[in-house]
């Protein structure tokens, strides 16, 4: 279970949100809504532990994530605004290195299969600099398709649907739905309407929370 | 593959795909060292006397020039975030990055130095000491430089700031590195200098990755 307790985030002299609490039990999806500039990305980075909140704390399985950084990291898969895709490396190398860095075992066949599923199998051996924006996004998202089982339990996705075409969006929705149904947790932000079948969605609205705080 | 080995391999692969960066550092080193004989004239005694200092200062500047590339690309494309979120402790990954950075920017300087020393008519044993002192000293430069590079990540005009932060810290390495070569040229033992350089290496190997990892987390915050 992931829990946020009384989070407050101040960037510069602007308070983005204050007293924000929620919890996310297994097999749930948390949709983080809010207008541009309300602090969605900051909140996701706080949930990952990349950013420290001004007040409050994030707890994972009832322990603060700052105390169990490495254990938490093994359970977490974060895909941020930046794709984390290296221009000089091929799509396949990017995926394999990304997986190895996250401490996951992944054979070449599994990696190729994941790229294939995301529809970038044909570009597997091309350097990422020759790929389009959407294709790079797909290479980054291929980490989600590396296969369930020992994979990370918690996915934190910042605008996962951005730059994707309809087919890829549909595929990603399916991937998220099956992860959540299998007992995983997903936190995501998006401005697009999305449909995940038979999944309980928890919605946190930063606009609303900010109004309430005022 | 362990995350540590993975980082080393990845950075070496990236350096191989961006070979021009590696050559830039080396060519800079060669040119700076070669400018001095042209500037001060071909008096052999004078050249022999200034050789250790000139080669060491040039190595220092070349090492510093390469620092800006250590984390900047990873920071820009988001891979640094992924490293900070890896289950491996960040300082281990930092050691991996610094190691591969040294292999592509420091080691070539060490190997190139004796050839440049010949330009200054350095005696053979002094050349040997020069190589040993650089082999011990350049990893220290990379380790100390990593802290500076991490602190100035994402700061505008970071390049100049790195120089201001890091150059003062390079002074002890310069003093004992060049000192070792001078001592050997004067017929004395260079052992004391080299042992001190070794001590600097041990110390910075312990402290710098930890400080760098902390600085990286601050830069990502």
**Rounded-to-integer distance, Cα B13 and Cα A28, Å:** 40
pLDDT per residue over B192-201, tens digit each? 999 999 999 9
User: Å from A72 to nearest chain B CA?
Assistant: 8
Two structure tokens written together for A200: 């309980």
Q: Are B93 and B217 in contact (CB under 8 A)?
A: no
Tell me the count of A-B CB pairs closer than 8 A. Answer: 78
Helices (H) then strands (E): counts for chain B? 10, 0
Two structure tokens written together for B218: 């601050």
pLDDT per residue over A36-58, tens digit each? 888 899 999 999 999 999 999 99
pLDDT per residue over A178-194, tens digit each? 899 988 899 999 888 88
pLDDT of residue A117: 87
Tally of residues, chain B: 221
pTM score? 0.90
Over chain B, what is the mean pLDDT? 92
pLDDT of residue A210: 55
CB within 8 Å: A101 and B81:
no
What three-state secondary structure class fits A9?
A: strand
**Whole domain around residue A103: which residue ranges?**
2-213
Q: Average pLDDT of B40-51?
A: 88
Kindly report the CATH number assigned to the domain that includes residue A78.
3.40.50.300
Domain parsing of chain B, residue ranges: 3-220
Two structure tokens written together for A49: 């532990």
CB within 8 Å: A101 and B7:
yes
- Chain A, 46 to 105: residues with Cβ < 8 Å from chain B are 48-52, 70-71, 73-74, 76, 78, 80-89, 93, 97-98, 100-103
pLDDT per residue over B82-131, tens digit each? 999 998 899 999 999 999 999 999 999 999 999 999 988 888 989 999 99
Nearest to B6 among A74, A101, A127 (CB): A101
Q: Are B152 and B162 in contact (CB under 8 A)?
A: yes
pLDDT at position A209 over 60: no
pLDDT at position A211 over 60: no
pLDDT band at B9 (very low <50, low <70, confident <90, very high): very high
pLDDT at position B138 over 70: yes
Chain A positions in Cβ-Cβ contact with residue B6 (cut-off 8 Å): 97, 100-101
Q: Are A77 and A143 in contact (CB under 8 A)?
A: yes
E strand or H helix at A189: strand A185-189
**Rounded-to-integer distance, Cα A167 and Cα B20, Å:** 40
Q: Average pLDDT of B17-33?
A: 91
Q: Average pLDDT of B170-179?
A: 94
Residue appearing with tokens 């080669």: B55
CB within 8 Å: A78 and B82:
yes
pLDDT of residue B144: 96
**Rounded-to-integer distance, Cα B98 and Cα B109, Å:** 16
**Rounded-to-integer distance, Cα A111 and Cα B114, Å:** 46
**Mutate: best of A45, A86, A99, partner B, most B CBs <10 A:** A86
Two structure tokens written together for B80: 């640094």
pLDDT of residue A148: 58
CB within 8 Å: A103 and B3:
yes
Of the candidates B96, B93, B103, the residue with the CA atom closest to the CA atom of residue B66: B103
pLDDT of residue A208: 67
pLDDT at position B67 over 80: yes
pLDDT per residue over A94-148, tens digit each? 999 988 888 887 888 889 989 998 888 898 999 999 999 899 999 999 998 887 5
The total number of structural domains that make up chain A? 1
Nearest to A76 among B18, B77, B85 (CB): B85
DSSP letters, B119-147, are HTT--HHHHHHHHHHHHHHHHHHHHHHHH
Question: How many Cα atoms occupy the beta-carbon half-sphere of A137 within 13 Å?
Answer: 17
Find the residue in A nearest to B15 (Cα).
A88
Find the residue in B nearest to A100 (Cα).
B3
Nearest to A73 among B78, B79, B87 (CB): B87
């Amino acid at each position: 279970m992931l829990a946020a307790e009384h989070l407050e985030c101040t960037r510069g002299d602007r308070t983005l949100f204050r007293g924000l609490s929620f919890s996310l039990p297994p097999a749930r999806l948390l949709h983080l809504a809010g207008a541009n500039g309300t602090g969605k990305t900051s909140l996701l980075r706080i949930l990952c532990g990349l950013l420290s909140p001004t007040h409050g704390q994030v707890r994972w399985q009832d322990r603060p994530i700052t105390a169990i950084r490495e254990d938490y990291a093994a359970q977490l898969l974060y895909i941020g605004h930046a794709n984390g895709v290296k221009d000089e490396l091929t799509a396949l190398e990017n995926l394999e290195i990304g997986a190895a860095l996250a401490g996951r075992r992944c054979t070449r066949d599994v990696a190729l299969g994941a790229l294939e599923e995301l529809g970038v199998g044909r570009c597997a051996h091309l350097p990422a600099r020759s790929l389009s924006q959407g294709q790079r996004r797909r290479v980054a998202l291929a980490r989600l398709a590396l296969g369930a089982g020992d994979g990370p339990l918690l996915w934190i996705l910042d605008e996962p649907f951005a730059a994707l075409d309809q087919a890829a969006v549909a595929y990603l929705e399916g991937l998220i739905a099956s992860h959540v149904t299998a007992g995983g947790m997903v936190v995501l932000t998006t401005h697009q309407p999305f449909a995940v079948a038979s999944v309980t969605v928890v919605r946190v609205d930063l606009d609303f929370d900010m109004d309430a705080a005022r | 593959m362990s995350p540590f080995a993975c980082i080393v391999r990845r950075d070496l692969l990236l350096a191989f795909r961006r070979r021009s960066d590696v050559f830039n550092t080396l060519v800079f080193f060669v040119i700076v060292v070669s400018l001095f004989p042209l500037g001060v004239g071909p008096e052999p005694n004078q050249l022999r006397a200034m050789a250790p200092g000139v080669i060491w200062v040039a190595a220092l500047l070349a090492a510093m020039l390469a620092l800006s590339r250590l984390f900047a690309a990873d920071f820009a494309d988001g891979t640094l975030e992924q490293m900070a979120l890896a289950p491996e402790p960040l300082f281990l990954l930092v050691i991996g990055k610094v190691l591969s950075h040294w292999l592509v920017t420091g080691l070539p300087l060490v190997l190139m130095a004796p050839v440049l020393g010949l330009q200054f008519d350095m005696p053979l044993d002094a050349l040997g000491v020069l190589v040993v002192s650089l082999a011990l000293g350049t990893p220290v430069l990379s380790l100390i430089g990593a802290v500076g590079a991490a602190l100035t990540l994402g700061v505008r005009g970071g390049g100049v700031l790195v120089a201001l932060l890091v150059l003062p810290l390079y002074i002890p390495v310069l003093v004992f590195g060049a000192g070792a070569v001078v001592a050997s040229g004067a017929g004395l033992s260079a052992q004391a200098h080299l042992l001190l350089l070794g001590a600097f290496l041990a110390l910075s190997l312990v402290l710098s990755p930890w400080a760098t990892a902390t600085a990286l987390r601050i830069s990502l915050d």
